[in-house]
Amino acid sequence: MKTITVFKGDGIGPEITDATLSILRAAGAPLEYECFDVGEAEYERHGALIPEAAFASFEKTKVLLKSPITTPIGKGFRSLNVQLRTKYDLYANIRPAKANAAVKTPFPQVDVVTFRENTEDLYVGVEEQIDEDTVHATKIITRGASERIIEDAFRYAETHGRKKVTCVHKANILKLSDGLFLSIFREIAKKHPTIEAADRIVDATCMELVMYPERFDVMVMPNLYGDIVSDLTSGLIGGLGLLPSANIGKDMAMFEAVHGSAPDIAGRHIANPTALLWSACMLLEHLGEHGVAGRIRAAVDRALAEANLTPDLGGTAHTKEYAEAIIDRL
C-alpha cells in the first residue's frame, strides 16, 4: 500500500474527487488516502487556502492527486496552482491528448503529448506599472529550466515508443528568450538521434494542429504556449473533461485535471470526472501500478463507448451515474 495526498478543491472539485476515489477503490488500487479540503471554501472556513497539514502531507507522501482549486480574485493571492508548482519545483507538466474511439470528434487521429515548462516564462508573475498607461511583464527563460524539460521530453519519447519531438516557440520575434529555448532544444536533440526533432512557431502550430494533427507527437514548449496549446489539444479530443496531466519534479509529483473548477456547473453534479480519473491513472503508472491503471483505462474506454455520458460529452448522466458505469465495467 502506498499513501497519497488528495486535495479536494473547489467548484466541481469535490464531486469529481469523490467519483474518482470511488473508482480507484472499486478497482482495488493499492492506495491509502490523506484527504484535505483546500481552496476558496477552505479559506472562508479556516483562513488558509491550503492548510499546513495538507502541505505537510504532500511533503511526506511525495504524491498528490489534486482537483481544481479556485484562487480568490482581488484578495492579492497568487494562483494556487502556480504556487504549488513553484514551491515544490514540479517543473515538467505533461499533458497527453489522445482521441478516444468512442468520443466522436472531427480529429480521430490525435495522439499528442504536451511537455509544458512549469516554473518560469511569463508565469513568474512579475509585472511592473511603468506609468498609468503602461505595464511591463517579465518573461524568464533560463538554460537550467529549459534543459531539464527538453531532456525529459526526449527521454519520454524514447521510453514511450514515440518518434518525434517538436519544439514550439516564437523565436522569430522573441529572439533572445525563445531563441535560447530553441537553441538548447537543438543541442539536446543531437543527443537523441533515434527521435526526429522538429520546431514550429507557436501560431503555425495551432493552425497545423487543427489541420494536420498527425504531424505532431511529443511537443515541448515554454510555460505560456504550453497552457494555450494544451487547451487546444483538449478541444481536439472532446473537451477539457478529457485532458489529464502530471506535474513532475525531482522527487515529488502532482496529478491533476487540466481544467479549472468550472464554477458555471459546480453543484449540479454533471461534471465529467474522466480528466481527474485519467490523472489518477498517470499517478498509478508513476508508482509502477500499471496493471490497475490499465484496468481502469479499459473500463473507461468501455463506459465511453456504451454508457450514458455526462452532458459535456452529449449525454444526460450525472457524475455519480457515469462513475458507476465505469465501476460496473471494471
240 binds ligand ATP (CB under 6 A): yes
Task: Supply the minimum distance, in Å, between the C-beta of residue 261 and ligand ATP.
Answer: 5
264 binds ligand ATP (CB under 6 A): yes
In the list 80, 97, 248, 265, the residue contacting ligand ATP (rule: CB under 6 A) is 265
In the complex with ligand ATP, the residue whose CB is nearer, 170 or 259, is: 259
CA gap 108, 100 in Å, rounded: 7
> In the block, which residue shows the cell 472531427?
106
259 binds ligand ATP (CB under 6 A): yes
In the list 92, 188, 202, 271, the residue contacting ligand ATP (rule: CB under 6 A) is 271
Residue type, 324: E
103 binds ligand ATP (CB under 6 A): no
Joined together, the cell numbers standing for residue 181 give: 529555448
In the list 201, 312, 318, 325, the residue contacting ligand ATP (rule: CB under 6 A) is 312
Restricting to residues 273-292, which ones interact with ligand ATP according to CB under 6 A?
Answer: 275
262 binds ligand ATP (CB under 6 A): yes
CA gap 78, 242 in Å, rounded: 27
CA gap 67, 52 in Å, rounded: 18
Is residue 112 a contact partner of residue 210, using CB atoms and an 8 Å limit? no
229 binds ligand ATP (CB under 6 A): no
> What pairing do the DSSP bridges indicate for beta strands 92-98 and 244-248?
antiparallel
Angle between helices 177-190 and 143-159 (to 10 degrees): 40
In the list 72, 108, 260, 315, the residue contacting ligand ATP (rule: CB under 6 A) is 260
315 binds ligand ATP (CB under 6 A): no
Angle of CA points 44, 59, 293, to nearest 5°: 95
- Binding residues for ligand ATP, per CB under 6 A? 12, 240-241, 259-262, 264-265, 271-272, 275, 312
